[in-house]
Amino acid sequence: MNNAQLNELKQRYVASGAASPATQFADRAENALVWDADGNRIIDFAGGIGVLNIGHRHPKVVQAVKDQLDKVMHTCQTVMPYEGYVKVAEKLSQVTPVRGHGKVMLANSGAEALENAVKVARAATGRDNVICFTGGYHGRTFMTMAMNGKVAPYATDFGSMPGNVFRAPYPVPSEGVSDDDALRGLKMALKTDANPKDTAAIVLEPVLGEGGFHAASPGFLKAVRELCDEHGMLMIVDEVQSGFGRTGKLFAIEHSGVEPDIITMAKSMADGMPISALVGTDKVMDASGGNSLGGTYTGSPVSCAAVLAVLEVFEEEQILDKSLALGDRLGERFTQWEQAFDCVANGRHLGAMAAFDLVTADGSPDADLAGALCKKAREKRLILLSCGLWGNTIRFLMPVTIEDEVLEEGLGIIEECLKEVVGSQAAATA
């Protein structure tokens, strides 16, 4: 079927809240390229929203999945366990920087990992409250919608959210929130809303994902760790988007040297196969009773095979070094664009987790321009995503394994699009 035929079916049968606004349908893909149902070649700077750090269909992952399909597809690991689950748990325990000996629970999605992290924290502390941050994003289930630091579009239409979730400001100096401001806000939340003795955990992303790719400083993360220790609260770090090599470390928290009590992960840990995990200190992870954690599909044998292959690829292909090098190249290009375009500001990156903002003449966020840029890029066959609390951030999540010539082609398209949308905007206001 072609794009037009598939769009007709989408309009007829897919719920509007779940339907993509895109009119091109993926037919096949390889590394940083996708071909749609009409045969058009498209450069992918989105990576399935950070899922494909080692590219579409990495050969080693594809082979591991095929091999597993010849053995076992499903038993439900709580009914009859299998080697893949325990091997993934062993590997994640070895590479995840939590305090002490790590234990692991596998789940299906980032939101499910966060839900279970809250369950574990409440069981381990006997407390209910959870503190999250402005701009944070943790998922689309009810608990994680309550934890998100942005209402639209995630929670707009769905009524009351679960209670005992409180908010503190995330440090974003470019938006006028310093580390000191954020710490004062966090301490104020503990004073006015969430009594420390009733607070199970502080949950944060070391680099905001949907919130705009702003990295918390090592100093701020260390201060949060100290505050948790002072009051007996757990520190939960959400690495769903920032983990598995995006920042030049396996996990972004490693840049700070801080060891959380629990780390959640998903997305690029299996190169497109659905799986997530929470890894935590053994005493914390063992706090809830038998059969209290799990689900029918959690830690699928096929997805576990993909995770083990991904970890081998990281070692064999120096993925972390490639992430750092890609981030440096993107940072250099952002600097050039800031000099060439008044609307481009605040270029930033931690490894290859990179972004810049689009602003008006007075420096205000320009979400309309960001939308126009992404639309124009799609017309030129480049997938580009915006994000941020104000919707004016352009983020880069292309595979770390992207070929040099494809990267340069995609960056060239963005530069063309900037010239066109800025010119159109100027003409409209003349």
Could you read off the pLDDT of 52-101 as tens digits, one per residue? 999 999 999 999 999 999 999 999 999 999 999 999 999 999 999 999 99
Q: pLDDT tens digits for 284-309?
A: 999 999 999 999 999 999 999 999 99
Q: Is the pLDDT of residue 387 over 90?
A: yes
- pLDDT, residue 426, reads 55
Give the Cα separation of 2 and 281 in Å (integer). Answer: 50
> Quick one: tokens of 162?
């679960």
CA–CA gap between residue 402 and residue 405 (Å, rounded):
8
Beta bridge partners of 246: none
**What pTM was computed for the model?**
0.96
Mean pLDDT of 47-56: 98
What does each C-alpha distance from 369 to 251, 333, 362, 388, 391 come to in angstroms?
Answer: 32, 19, 14, 13, 10
Domain boundaries, the chain: 3-54+318-429, 62-316
pLDDT at 150 over 90: no
Provide the CATH topology of domain 3-54+318-429.
Aspartate Aminotransferase, domain 1 (3.90.1150)
Using a pLDDT cut of 90, give the percent of the chain over it: 95
Which pLDDT belongs to residue 397?
Answer: 98
Arch. (CATH architecture) of 62-316? 3-Layer(aba) Sandwich (3.40)
Cβ atoms within 10 Å of 123's Cβ, excluding its own:
18
347-356 pLDDT, tens digit each? 999 999 999 9
Give me the pLDDT at residue 429, please.
Answer: 58
Q: What is the mean pLDDT of residues 167-176?
A: 96
Query: Which H/E stretch holds residue 348?
Result: strand 344-350
Q: Which of 171, 249, 251, 248 is nearest to 208 (CA)?
A: 171
Distance CA(62)–CA(351), nearest Å, equals: 26
